[in-house]
């Protein structure tokens, strides 16, 4: 057993070294203050809601439950959620790097896998978000495990892991779609029933995992709609989020339309210039007809499905790239290795060949330095100490414990305080409806408000009119807190029940 462990360590020494450096850097990063952002707060508060059966925290119907279950478990055990949640994220990130390496080895070769793992570990968007308590990295870990099991002919297990990816982040349903696309292509081209059976096993594994989620939805939302729509209600409501106009890019000119279509290509290149080898890798695959291998077909199917989806939807954020970035890095590794091999096969004098090889390695190194420079800047994004808003505003209800629920336009306080929160942040008409309903209930005590939670597009007169109605509704309550942070007023009101129950 010791011999096998020693052999395994020697075989994977370089990727283990990369992972070791990655974990050390992340540990140093964790010594700085973790400033909780909006989405992180929602997942923490949802975890509290699940484990307290709705008495603490808040619930957002558009988000899947798996990640909140993890964070809520830390809270239920009395552990510091942010510390243990971030530690889990860092470890999940290490898992993503290692699986990228393994897939690169399996699809191409060990050197390609090693380069892929290294490039991913320093890719700025991955480096930044592998510390945040967000679902991109965690869901990608499950997606990569699904692909790995698929390539090892563990069809049912691949479906189970695809289901876990979906239950962590809904758009990761694309993992199942990409694998089913490969299965369908093989079945149609070969007419072999074996591929049909494999597709059924894959689908059964997925269904087994997600069925409890739909049952949970039925019991949670059955009083709001029909039984069928109750089961899929989170998915239906989440669809609108992919059309968020405030995260749109592009415009009316041809250049801006092209930027919108190729947003992720452009932004990934801007973050790491070594992305150019992704294009080279794709071209070489076509030239060498390497796309006929199962592993390569899975990789290309995955990239195609994800690129089409994320290029099509209006909501574009660079952090979404983490869901397909490992496969981009695998092709980058392949492109670098193939180009290097092409150089070494040139019929040149040994001295010239050595010079060209060294020059090529230096070029790749220089391209990577740009990404490392961005990573260094990201490290210093984190505060060395908590900013004033944390103790003064986010911890307000720790010093003034509420006796009832808190309607909120900002979910972040729900991460710091164990109280029941009612989110009113979807859109202005919905916020008005939620506030009108909540203000009439005697167990609703406070309102947290900030105007930036209700943005309007320029020229949208209806939105601005609704926002004035919202402000009038908010100001009907008693203001007890008014301070400015980051050039924005943060307000807390006590609900005026007498007025709303007349």
Per-residue pLDDT tens digits for 27-61: 999 999 999 999 999 999 999 999 999 999 999 99
Give how far Cα 375 sits from Cα of 120, 130, 138, 230, 369, Å. 12, 12, 20, 43, 10
The single residue listed with the structure tokens 């020697």 is: 10
Measuring CA to CA, which residue among 239, 244, 252 is closest to residue 455?
A: 244
Q: Quote the mean pLDDT of the chain.
A: 91
pLDDT at residue 353 tops 70: no
What is the structure's pLDDT at 285?
87
Question: What is the rounded CA–CA span in Å between residue 213 and residue 462?
Answer: 37
Contacts 24+ apart (CB under 8 A), 52-56: 54/420, 55/420, 56/418, 56/419, 56/420
pLDDT at residue 3 tops 60: no
What is the structure's pLDDT at 1?
45
Question: What is the rounded CA–CA span in Å between residue 365 and residue 306?
Answer: 29
88 CB burial (10 A radius; 0-12, 13-18, 19+):
middle
pLDDT at residue 279 tops 80: yes
214 CB burial (10 A radius; 0-12, 13-18, 19+):
middle
Angle at which helices 81-107 and 325-344 cross, to 10°? 40
What is the structure's pLDDT at 152?
95
Give the mean model confidence (pLDDT) for residues 268-279: 92
Token pair recorded at residue 415: 């991460």
pLDDT tens digits along 366-425: 888 888 888 888 877 788 899 999 999 999 999 999 999 999 999 999 999 999 999 998
Question: What is the rounded CA–CA span in Å between residue 137 and residue 156?
Answer: 23
First to last CA, the chain: 77
- Domains in the chain: boundaries: 81-379, 388-500
Angle at which helices 81-107 and 38-51 cross, to 10°? 110
Give the mean model confidence (pLDDT) for residues 245-271: 85
Q: Name the region of 362 (left: φ>0; alpha: ψ -120 to 50; beta: rest).
A: alpha
Q: Name the region of 400 (left: φ>0; alpha: ψ -120 to 50; beta: rest).
A: beta
What is the structure's pLDDT at 446?
96
pLDDT at residue 361 tops 90: no
List of E strands, 109-200: none
Question: What is the rounded CA–CA span in Å between residue 223 and residue 322?
Answer: 37
Measuring CA to CA, which residue among 475, 470, 479 is closest to residue 433?
A: 470
491 confidence band (pLDDT: 50, 70, 90)? very high
Q: What is the DSSP string of 247-266?
A: G----SSHHHHHHHHTHHHH
What is the structure's pLDDT at 134?
95
């Amino acid at each position: 057993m010791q011999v096998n462990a020693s052999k395994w360590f020697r075989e994977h020494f370089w990727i283990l070294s990369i992972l070791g450096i990655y974990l050390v850097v992340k540990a140093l990063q964790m010594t700085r203050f973790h400033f909780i952002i909006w989405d992180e707060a929602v997942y923490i508060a949802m975890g509290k809601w699940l484990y307290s059966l709705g008495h603490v925290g808040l619930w957002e119907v558009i988000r899947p439950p798996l990640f909140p279950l993890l964070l809520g478990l830390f809270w239920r055990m009395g552990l510091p959620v942010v510390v243990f949640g971030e530690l889990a994220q860092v470890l999940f990130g290490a898992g993503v790097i290692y699986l990228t390496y393994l897939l690169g080895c399996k699809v191409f070769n060990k050197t390609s896998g090693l380069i892929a793992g290294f490039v991913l570990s320093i890719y700025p968007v991955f480096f930044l978000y592998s510390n945040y308590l967000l679902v991109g990295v965690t869901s990608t870990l499950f997606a990569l495990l699904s692909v790995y099991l698929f390539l090892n002919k563990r069809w049912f297990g691949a479906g189970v892991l695809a289901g876990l990816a979906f239950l962590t982040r809904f758009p990761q349903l694309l993992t199942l779609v990409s694998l089913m696309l490969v299965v369908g292509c093989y079945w149609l081209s070969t007419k072999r029933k074996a591929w049909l059976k494999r597709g059924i096993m894959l689908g059964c594994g997925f269904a087994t995992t997600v069925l409890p989620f739909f049952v949970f939805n039925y019991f949670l939302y059955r009083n709001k709609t029909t039984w069928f729509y109750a089961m899929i209600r989170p998915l239906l409501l989440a669809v609108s989020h992919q059309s968020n106009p405030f995260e749109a890019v592009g415009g009316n000119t041809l250049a801006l339309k092209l930027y919108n279509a190729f947003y992720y290509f452009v932004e990934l290149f801007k973050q790491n210039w070594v992305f150019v080898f992704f294009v080279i890798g794709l071209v070489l695959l076509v030239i060498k007809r390497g796309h006929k291998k199962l592993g390569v077909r899975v990789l290309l199917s995955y990239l195609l499905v994800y690129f089409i989806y994320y290029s099509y939807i209006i909501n574009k954020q660079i952090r979404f790239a983490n869901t397909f970035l490992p496969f981009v890095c695998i092709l980058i590794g392949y492109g670098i290795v193939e180009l290097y091999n092409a150089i070494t096969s040139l019929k040149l004098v040994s001295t010239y060949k050595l010079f060209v090889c060294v020059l090529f390695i230096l070029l790749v190194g220089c391209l990577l330095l740009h990404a490392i420079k961005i990573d260094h800047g990201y490290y210093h994004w984190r505060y060395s100490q908590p900013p004033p808003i944390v103790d003064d505003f986010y911890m307000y209800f720790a010093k003034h414990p509420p006796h009832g629920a808190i309607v909120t336009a900002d979910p972040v306080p729900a991460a710091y305080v164990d109280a029941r929160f009612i989110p009113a942040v979807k859109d202005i008409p919905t916020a008005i409806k939620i506030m009108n309903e909540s203000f009439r209930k005697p167990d609703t005590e406070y309102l947290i408000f900030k105007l930036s939670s209700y943005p309007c597009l320029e020229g949208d007169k209806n939105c601005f009119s609704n926002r004035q109605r919202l402000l009038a509704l908010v100001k009907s309550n008693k203001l007890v807190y008014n301070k400015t942070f980051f050039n924005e007023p943060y307000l807390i009101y006590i609900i005026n029940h007498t007025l709303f129950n007349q």
